[in-house]
Amino acid sequence: MQGIQGKNVLVTGGSSGIGQAIAIRFGIEGANVAINYRKGLEAAQETEAAIQEGVDRCMNEIRDAGSKTMLVQADVSKPDEVNRMVDEVLAEFGGLDILINNAGFQIAGDSEEISLESFQRVLATNLTGAFQTAQRAIQHFLAEDKPGVIINVSSVHQRIPKPRFLSYAVSKGGMQNLTTTLALEYAGRKIRVNGIGPGATITPINRAWVDDPEKSAEVVKHIPMGRAATSEEMAAVTVFMCSDEAAYITGQTLFVDGGLTLYPDFRTAWSSE
Ligand code: NAD
């Protein structure tokens, strides 16, 4: 895709699932990719190897451009670690062009019972971590007076309520305003801020249903397109949104959800006839 080759990209939570697929796709497109991981160095190294493999396999013609990868450990819920993560990327790559705020997790529980600590823990990673990393990236873009792109990996639950996952839904709702407000604030400074809103995607976060045929069938029943997404489908849209092909798009969240946000219950009229 146009405008990706040679760019320096940081993907948070890049050692598994959607983040891993995004990191690999950027590598295949010729970008230098910093893979942030909180733990599980082994998976992070696998991602790095897969990027290299992808580059080897698909990018012979741009090999001379020399895609680079690096691993950077940090818990994005911890301000000091976010600062160190960004500093390490700047030191290694000499700059940053694209930030993918992907790290996220969820905790289930009835809302009348969840602890304040668990609520804040989800917000600290999914929303505050994304804000702080975006802030550091924007400071860098402004200091260098260069264009920058930020993608917030949100969720259909930015729009659709999620009972028993209140902190997750609140974090993704907050992400919508993180995206739109930053987009508006920096639109005149060559910085684009967008989101993607994945629907049900086959990744480790969905262990609870992915490996259970009955539960999987129940999930798929609710999806108008009749199947869950792959991480690669999320990666393709993410890289497009960062490319020059999307140069005029800012402040948008693109839902990549097989129709989940289209009120699937209304597939057939049930209240008018
Ligand atoms: P995943 O669990 O495979 O990936 C999440 C990654 O974030 C993991 O690598 C995890 O280690 C990392 N992470 C969590 N807390 C972190 C922290 N404090 N610091 C650094 N890294 C941290 O799941 P996934 O499905 O690939 O999720 C990626 C993103 O996509 C998340 O933001 C999630 O909310 C979003 N999403 C996923 C789905 C889905 O169905 N899989 C749907 C909508 C949105």
Taking only the tens place, the pLDDT of each residue in 218-238 is 999 999 999 999 999 999 999
Query: What does 87-115 look like in DSSP terms, one character per residue?
Result: HHHHHHHS---EEEE---------TTT--
**Residue 154 Cα to ligand 1 middle (Å):** 10
Q: Are 54 and 28 in contact (CB under 8 A)?
A: yes
Catalytic residue among 168, 186, 248, 263: 168
| 168 is an active site residue | yes
Cβ-count burial 49-80 (b if 16+ within 10 Å, e if not) = ebbeebbeeebeeeeeeebbbbbbbbbbbbee
Q: Could you tell me what percent of the chain has a pLDDT over 90? A: 79
From the CB of 105, is ligand 1 less than 6 Å away? yes
The correct CATH number of 8-257 out of 2.40.110.10, 3.40.50.1370, 3.40.50.880, 3.40.50.720 is 3.40.50.720
Of the pLDDT bands very low, low, confident and very high (cuts 50, 70, 90), residue 56 is low
Q: Which atom of ligand 1 is nearest to the CA of 104?
A: 32
Of the pLDDT bands very low, low, confident and very high (cuts 50, 70, 90), residue 162 is very high
Residue ranges covered by each domain of the chain: 8-257
Position 211 scores a pLDDT of 87
Residue 60, pLDDT above cutoff 50: no
**Residue 39 Cα to ligand 1 middle (Å):** 12
Q: Which of 206-210, 215-219, 255-259 has the highest mean pLDDT?
A: 255-259
Of the pLDDT bands very low, low, confident and very high (cuts 50, 70, 90), residue 240 is very high
Task: Name, in order, each residue with C-beta under 8 angstroms of 25's C-beta and a sequence gap of 6 or more.
Answer: 54, 232, 235, 236, 238, 239
The pTM (predicted TM-score) of the whole model is 0.95
As given in the structure block, the two tokens for residue 176 are 């919508």
Position 178 scores a pLDDT of 98
Of the pLDDT bands very low, low, confident and very high (cuts 50, 70, 90), residue 59 is very low
Residue 2, pLDDT above cutoff 90: yes
Partners of 70 in the β-ladder: 34
Q: Ligand 1: which of 10, 18, 82, 158 to mutate, judged by most atoms within 8 Å of the beta carbon?
A: 18
Position 271 scores a pLDDT of 84
